[in-house]
Amino acid sequence: MNDESASDFTLEELQAQHTAELPARDLMIGVSILGIPLAGVSDVGVTVDTSGPNWLFGSVGGV
Nearest CA among 58, 42, 34, 61 for reference residue 50: 61
Q: Calculate the CA dihedral of residues 28, 33, 36, 37 and round it to 10 degrees.
A: -170
Residues 52, 63: contact at Cβ < 8 Å? Answer: yes
Give the nearest distance from C-beta 24 to other proteins in angstroms: 6
Give the nearest distance from C-beta 10 to other proteins in angstroms: 10
Applying the rule CB under 8 A, the residues between 7 and 36 that interact with other proteins are 7-9, 11, 14-15, 17-36
| Site size with other proteins, rule: CB under 8 A | 55
Between 34 and 63, how does the x/- string for binding to other proteins read (CB under 8 A)? xxxxxxxxxxxxxxxxxxxx-xxx--xxxx
Q: Residue 37: phi, psi to the nearest 5?
A: -65, -25
Which residues bind to other proteins, rule: CB under 8 A? 2-9, 11, 14-15, 17-53, 55-57, 60-63
